[in-house]
Chain A
Amino acid sequence: MAENVLPFKGTKAQEEQLMAVIASNKEVPGALLPVLHEAQEIYGYLPIEVQQMVADGLGVSLSEVYGVATFYSRFSLTPKGKHRISVCLGTACYVKGADKILTEIENKLGIKSGECTPDGLFSIDSCRCVGACGLAPVVMIDEEVYGKLTPKEINKVLDKYIAEEGGDK
């Protein structure tokens, strides 16, 4: 886990949303996973404060919530960047050089996979197969899929995002 966790900045509206989710799932058997999915949707990640609310709301212990939240790779305990870069390291992408794409992105942004840039703009993650194997190697930035990439092309793609954010290359 990253050392420098940003202070939790949840709003009242988010809390109300979460409470509504908890209320509607309370009687569902096996509610913890669906609730955590929605909680992450609301807050963008699952800080300990949110886990505590889920635990209290569902009447389970915080350690149980923490255990589940840390077991599944889709749940994140740390905030993600404004632009979430997800590099597919599935087999089809790997044999077509996805590792080189990842290295290129890491070098360019100066952070490693799993980290977020200090300005909070970009975070990098690797994922296992988005299912667009016909386009391998594939990178997802937010909801956009970029396929058939080369290190050179991903550079251009990143430049576009950096320019949009008003930074220089």
Chain B
Amino acid sequence: MTLEELNKIKKEKEELVMVRKVVKEKGEELAKNTGYRKQVLVCGGTGCTSSGSKKVLAALEKALKENGIEEEIHVVRTGCFGLCSLGPIMIVYPEGSFYAQATPEGVERIVKEHLKEGNVVKELLYKETVHSDGSITPLSETNFYKKQMRIALRNCGVIDPEDIEEYIAVDGYQALYKALTSMTPDDVIKEVLDSGLRGRGGGGFPTGKKWMFAKASEGDVKYVCCNADEGDPGAFMDRSILEGDPQCIIEAMEIAGYAIGAHHGFVYVRAEYPIAVQRLSIAIEQAKKYGFLGKNIFGTGFDFDLEIRLGAGAFVCGEETALMTSIEGNRGEPRPRPPFPAVKGLFEKPTVLNNVETYANIAQIIYKGSDWYSSIGTETSRGTKVFALGGKITNVGLVEIPMGTTLREIIEEIGGGIPNGKKFKAAQTGGPSGGCIPAEHIDTPIDYDSLLAIGSMMGSGGMIILDEDTCMVDIAKFYLEFTVDESCGKCTPCRVGTRKLLQYLDKITKGNGVPEDLDKIEELAQHMQKSSLCALGQTAPNPILSTMKFFKDEYIAHIEDKTCPAGVCKSLIRYEIIADKCKGCTLCARNCPAKAISGTVKQPHVIDSEKCIKCGVCMNNCKFGAIITK
């Protein structure tokens, strides 16, 4: 591959892809040269695949044929658009009509009425894009997208992830060319350092420094690794990048390899992500075929190859030394540091390991320069961060925001607020290693240091929104159950400490807690933070500490009043029937597995709390909302 060849492919495909990136009028102009009247993009990410996008795609292709327009319409299966709760998602360009929750039946209408006859099917569009006067706004101007800035996700939902030429059309491999032909390894490292990019996996260590240390290490064999073992339950940023834009990871890893002097890379990815693994495998094959991987890349003498290694469901393998131990074929237990991976990493060789999202920024930094990148974000946190927004929020999905955006903007504007008129209680970031941001800190800017200052952390990007129905003690317990399961058992503070912390929480949620328990939790937490071998154990107490800091009253209610204010902890709640609302339909009594409900037809029923096992079946079945918890 030469630069001429690269630019030739770029030129050929550029207009086809640009139609999806520009405003309607410009897109219509460009579309004339592409040979396609319209393009239909269907999301093939995990979220939309789960909600049935394969059936939608099949129905689309069938309907196009039936209407005889399959030659005029270009169908692209892309990665994630971000708005997962509205899946399956389908967008028609050049006008950018955004169809949400598409169904095979709906698609038949869209093909006939919109694609064939030119009339947008308004009632199937995402309702936020349709105004009361009938006019339609483009997707980029909806609240969900307006405040976002997409750098790491720049190609997700835009290009076909299984077509390397579409990646080339959006400047793909230009950064690698630039690095290999006009920059020294030190230039590359300096550029990354100057950009201010910090590790997006959660630690926030400056990426350029990591590379600098690895370059400085002596050794003829070095490795570049990519951490795609996204273990935080509720986080799916890395998966979405691999599914939507796998080539950008390959390009970035090569740039890292050139910078530190490595010729071999490993991507360690969760086996639970079959679509991501498949797309990455296809991407690697194509990159080899086009000469971006292998020997003598761009004729510069630089060699690089890449392998995928599958994880096997161990959270601890997200820790860098454990991940390397796992690639080596062993139990994924962490090793003491130092020596740091940059000195002695994979197979005891100097190794650079970065997270998927970190790599997703690299090509842009090299191509556009560190000045551009460092102009985005805040003083100490440059650039953007991707969050997987989930939990009690209207727009569940993937968002990328400039650092420094406030939590309020994320929740109220991008996220569309809390559903069902409930009140926002807290946002949990950083998963089992992180903490929560309570409502009083909703104006906190999201960056590494602001989050640390209030006792939370950036984490890898999971952001779970909790409303008033969430019990904070129960959430802390949920995370501790997770860390107990996932502690590898190598070091005592983590193995025993997590279990002990869980016992305290269990005791408290069962109504058996005593005030001293809180002091004991804090003491134990400090020991774990100081003496655990790896970050898993060091950070495992965070969910308790931060909920204790901001929601101490809830802990005290559980301990002293023996009540659960949110009505979650089973041992502390009672189910009751409101006599006025009960119609005596007997549905609850018939479904109660413990036969704890009695009453005659058309008369209010009663629950015998002695017999009640608090399974909640009655409440789920009641059609009149007559059953409440106290």
Contact = CB atoms under 8 A, between A and B. Distances in A.
Interface in B410-430: 428
Contacts of A161: none
Contacts of B390: 91-92, 133-134, 136
A135 B396 CA distance: 9
A90 B233 contact: yes
B546 to A, nearest CB: 15
Interface in A139-161: 145, 147, 150-152
A75 B488 CA distance: 15
A96 B465 CA distance: 11
A68 B329 contact: yes
Contacts of A128: 231, 233, 313, 315, 482
Nearest to A70: B331
A68 B330 contact: yes
A150 B617 CA distance: 11
B50 interface: yes
A86 B598 CA distance: 35
Interface stretch (B106-114, B234-242, B297-305): B234-242
Contacts of B391: 91-92, 95-96, 136
B84 interface: yes
B470 interface: yes
Contacts of B233: 89-92, 94, 128-129
Contacts of A74: 271-272, 311-313
A161 B392 CA distance: 30
Interface string A20-37: 000000000111111011
Given A71-B488, A74-B271, A131 B616 contact: no
B174 interface: no
Contact of A72 (B50, B239, B313, B462): B313
B466 interface: yes
A33 B617 contact: no
Contact of A132 (B83, B84, B621): B84
A129 B310 contact: no
B534 to A, nearest CB: 15
A33 B314 CA distance: 12
A133 B84 contact: yes
B431 to A, nearest CB: 7
B397 interface: yes
Nearest to A151: B620
Contacts of A145: 49-51
B347 interface: yes
B609 to A, nearest CB: 19
Interface string A65-78: 00110011111000
B151 to A, nearest CB: 21
B84 A134 contact: yes
A169 interface: no
Contacts of A34: 309-310
Interface in B581-598: 593
Interface residue tally on A, bucketed by range:
35 or more
Nearest to B234: A91
A130 B272 contact: yes
A138 to B, nearest CB: 7
Given A91-B233, A95-B470, A135-B51, A73 B327 contact: no
A132 B330 CA distance: 30
Interface residues of B, number: 58
A90 B431 CA distance: 10
A150 B620 contact: yes
Nearest to B48: A134
Contacts of A29: 328-329, 347
Interface in A116-132: 127-132
Given A92-B396, A92-B464, A134 B47 contact: yes
B397 A134 contact: yes
A133 B313 contact: no
A12 to B, nearest CB: 27
Interface in B324-356: 326-332, 347
A150 B621 CA distance: 11
A82 interface: no
| Most chain B beta-carbon neighbours within 10 Å: one of A89, A134, A151 | A134
A74 B231 CA distance: 13
B629 interface: no
A4 interface: no
B615 A103 contact: yes
B85 interface: yes
A107 interface: yes
A109 B235 CA distance: 30
A128 to B, nearest CB: 4
A95 B465 CA distance: 9
Contacts of A96: 391-392
Contact of B312 (A37, A67, A103, A127): A37
A95 B464 contact: yes
A134 B616 CA distance: 24
B388 interface: yes
Interface in B425-471: 428, 431, 462, 464, 466, 470
Contacts of B84: 132-135
Contacts of B315: 128
B46 interface: yes
B396 A133 contact: yes
B239 A95 contact: no
A152 B326 CA distance: 41
Given A33-B327, A34-B309, A71-B332, 14 more contacts: A30-B309, A33-B312, A91-B431, A95-B466, A128-B233, A128-B482, A131-B46, A132-B46, A133-B84, A134-B85, A134-B397, A147-B51, A151-B616, A151-B617
Interface of B: 46-47, 49-51, 83-87, 231-236, 239, 271-273, 309-315, 326-332, 347, 388, 390-392, 396-397, 428, 431, 462, 464, 466, 470, 475, 478-479, 482, 488, 593, 615-617, 620-621
13 contacts: A32-B330, A33-B326, A37-B310, A67-B331, A72-B314, A73-B313, A74-B272, A95-B466, A107-B615, A131-B236, A133-B396, A134-B47, A135-B51
